[in-house]
Structure 1
Amino acid sequence: MRRFNIFALLPLLALSTAPPLCAQVTFGSSGAEGEPFRRQQWRVPSPDTDIAAHALLFRPGGAGPFRLAVVAHASTQNVLRRAQMPQPEYPALVAFLVARGFAVLVPERLGHGATGGRYVEDQGGCDEADYARSGRVTAAEISLALDYLRKQDFVRKDAAVVIGHSAGGWGTLTLANADPNAISAIIAFAPGRGGHANDEPNRICAPQTLLAAVAEFGKAARIPVTWLVATNDSYFSPAFSRRLADAFRGGGGKVDFRTLPAVGSEGHWMIESEAGVKAASRELELALNRSKAAAAKKP
């Protein structure tokens, strides 16, 4: 039986008129990997100082400090779908990470679901798509949440891992220019923007603009990226995803590109399912082990 334990609020930290950033409720739970963890509701900074982003935080038992993993969710240009988005949770991925000693933060970015506010990641229409700008804004939102959690006593200040999905993954490619001491690895599941243009599978809005933007991201990249895509991804197919990864590498970025088996009817959403995490488990394990070894070498 799930047990509920409500404990005292931490000292409050406000952003302008924003709600408390660290109000939280703890739940006894267990993940798919059989490891117990704590699930907590948090508020973290957003680009709008009047709005604190809703987030879920998961962590193992004990006081830590734990390595931090931040999961950046997918997005959509559709206003109604964004407004109706449920709080992102990625339960199987979270269980996988917590079982390996990570505290995991899943923030819901500005303009989505319960967080609300203005959507600042807008890429524009096909003819004027600005994918580079939208990627930089997404990366900035991820950084705000990550930097806030790194100030907590139970989180290590170094060797964080950032995992991005779709538009969230696109933002993580921009974040590859961050301090390698602070972020030791980036794992991107089918990163990109503009997929399913006009809701049509295997159609991408302004693909050459997307390729040009990712090449620019590669020029500034300092953190290695593990790039994963399912065989049956109809948003960013393995063939086009490889072109994106090659452009990122051509700009100077380090990429380990992997195509994964088909999962479900649409591989783009594989990371949201237990079957998808299982299909990606070997690559996830390799990426986490590489990041752990890299972090151990740093002074």
Structure 2
Amino acid sequence: MRIFLLALTNAALLLMHDAQAKLVEEVIRVPVEAANLYGKATSQEIVVTLFRDDASTGPQPLAIINHGRAAEAKDRIALGRARYSAVSRWLASLGFVVALPTRIGYGESGGDDVEDSGSCNAKKYGPSYAAGIGQVVTVMEALRKRPDVEKERTLVIGQSFGGAMSIGIAALAVPGVQAAINFAGGGGGNPIDRPANPCGQHQMKQLFASYGATARLPTLWIYTENDKYWGPALPREWFDAFRAAGGNGEFVRFPAHGENGHGFFSAAPAEWRSTVLDFLRKNGYPTLGAD
């Protein structure tokens, strides 16, 4: 009976918290600069969406979420404003201020495509990822000036192109960044025209190896068995190249999810949350609440 009453009390407390807590969404604009593959510079403001739980008090750790890159220009414009609402809500409930930059060339930010990496048979990934990474670092620097953000506690998360960017940010040892999580990171994929056979596979491997040469922060790499952008084998090859170069990382491959596991990050957060929580508790966030 005592256990039953305790369970009821805990449930009541959770309901009270849910009733009192409110997810606050804010949209700001941050001026950034980026250069494309050919060195052409672009300067403009980009849209950044912020989420926080208004029940949280004082400065909170920052979680940056980096969106992916659609193969077609029309789909990049159709992004609108990066939000990942379910994941953002969960992170905010853990006590993070969550920031989602919509980078140059996407959705409401608009502008030139500064992240183009060239033709399929002549990929140059370094400049394209550097263009995205530079924007995100600028956003982080701006947000660290806010009174509700802890200056020395930042988590970087990314999906697809944004996942590889997150590993690139870990390689830079940006002040305040404690860990990075890569969901389905890579480049050159097209599940319709080239399923499981992305362009520039070797160049992508070289890029991850170059990140590994300087990435000493803990990183978590999450992929699925049926990712139609990369297939099952390439992600592990990329991770192994990263580790062989000295990178600090943990690789987790989940079973197949749906028709294409590439969207596992936004499609199935309930399936990966415990893995992410374990990683965070081991690497700078031991007091995070239970899943």
TM-score, scaled relative to structure 2: 0.84
Deviation of 1:112 after TM superposition, in Å, equals 0.4
Deviation of 1:249 after TM superposition, in Å, equals 0.6
For 1:40, the equivalent position in structure 2 comes to 26
Alignment of 1:57-76 (within 5 A): 57-61=50-54, 62-76=56-70
The Cα offsets for residues 113-159 of structure 1, whole Å up to 9 and x where unpaired, read as 11001111111112221112222222111111111111101100012
For 2:85, the equivalent position in structure 1 comes to 91
Could you tell me which of 50, 54, 58 is aligned with 2:47?
54
Could you tell me which of 94, 99, 102 is aligned with 1:108?
102
5+ residue gaps, structure 1, are 1-32
Deviation of 1:64 after TM superposition, in Å, equals 2.3
SS of the equivalent of 1:138 reads helix
Query: Which residue identity lines up with residue 292 of structure 1 in the other structure?
Result: G
For 1:231, the equivalent position in structure 2 comes to 225
For 1:286, the equivalent position in structure 2 comes to 278
Deviation of 1:291 after TM superposition, in Å, equals 2.6
Q: Distance in 2 between matches of 1:133 and 1:198?
A: 25
5+ residue gaps, structure 2, are 1-16, 35-41
Deviation of 1:294 after TM superposition, in Å, equals 8.4
Alignment of 1:111-150 (within 5 A): 111-150=105-144
- Decide whether aligned partners of structure 1 residues 102 and 197 sit closer, same or farther in structure 2, where only a CA change above 3 A counts: same
Percent identity at matched positions? 30
Q: How many residues align?
A: 261
For 2:145, the equivalent position in structure 1 comes to 151
Could you tell me which of 207, 216, 219 is aligned with 1:222?
216
SS of the equivalent of 2:103 reads coil
Q: Is the 8 A contact 1:110 1:117 kept in 2?
A: yes
- Decide whether aligned partners of structure 1 residues 110 and 180 sit closer, same or farther in structure 2, where only a CA change above 3 A counts: closer
For 2:178, the equivalent position in structure 1 comes to 184
Q: Distance in 1 between matches of 2:46 and 2:188?
A: 24
Q: Is the 8 A contact 1:187 1:287 kept in 2?
A: no
- Decide whether aligned partners of structure 1 residues 242 and 157 sit closer, same or farther in structure 2, where only a CA change above 3 A counts: same
Q: Is the 8 A contact 1:229 1:237 kept in 2?
A: no
The Cα offsets for residues 199-243 of structure 1, whole Å up to 9 and x where unpaired, read as 331111021111112111111212121000122211123321111
Q: Is the 8 A contact 1:185 1:287 kept in 2?
A: no
Q: Distance in 1 between matches of 2:67 and 2:45?
A: 17
Q: Distance in 2 between matches of 1:180 and 1:290?
A: 20
Could you tell me which of 190, 194, 213 is aligned with 1:196?
190
TM-score, scaled relative to structure 1: 0.82
